[in-house]
């Protein structure tokens, strides 16, 4: 059997994807909790608006992996803002990320409830 190493990330991206928003590519870098951003700092994720791509580390610990989901939602929100010609709003991006991760976790719990 061959399986995709980041099933949770794939499921999460499907969960938060909006049909009326142009596509964005997601790159997951295995084996790291942080990545180097374009300004040379350590960061949790990057949204490269020129190439419409999001780059995140895979996350190592359980907390790290949860952070990755939050980072993906945060950067996806910036992508939505960008495609709608809006300025980046960090506070709104964080709120969106928290809401999406919570909703995803709740949906995952509901799904496993159905299997019992």
Per CB under 5 A, contacts with Zn ion among 71-90 are 90
Strand order of the β-sheet with 25-29 is 25-29, 53-57, 46-48
C-beta of 27: minimal distance to Zn ion in Å?
17
Number of amino acids touching Zn ion (CB under 5 A): 2
Give 13 or 78: the residue with its C-beta nearer to Zn ion.
78
C-beta of 2: minimal distance to Zn ion in Å?
35
Give 16 or 93: the residue with its C-beta nearer to Zn ion.
93
Distance, CA of 93 to CA of 3 (rounded, Å): 31
Find out whether 96 and 36 touch, Cβ atoms under 8 Å: no
Find out whether 72 and 13 touch, Cβ atoms under 8 Å: yes
C-beta of 74: minimal distance to Zn ion in Å?
5
Binding site for Zn ion (CB under 5 A): 90, 93
């Amino acid at each position: 059997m061959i399986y995709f190493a980041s099933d949770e990330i794939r499921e999460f991206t499907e969960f938060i994807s909006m049909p009326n928003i142009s596509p964005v590519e997601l790159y997951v870098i295995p084996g790291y909790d942080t990545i180097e951003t374009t300004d040379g700092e350590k960061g949790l994720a990057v949204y490269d608006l020129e190439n419409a791509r999001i780059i995140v580390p895979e996350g190592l610990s359980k907390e790290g992996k949860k952070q990755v989901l939050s980072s993906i939602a945060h950067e996806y929100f910036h992508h939505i803002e960008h495609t709608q010609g809006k300025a980046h709003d960090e506070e709104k991006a964080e709120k969106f990320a928290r809401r999406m991760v919570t909703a995803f976790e709740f949906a995952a719990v509901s799904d496993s409830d159905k299997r019992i």
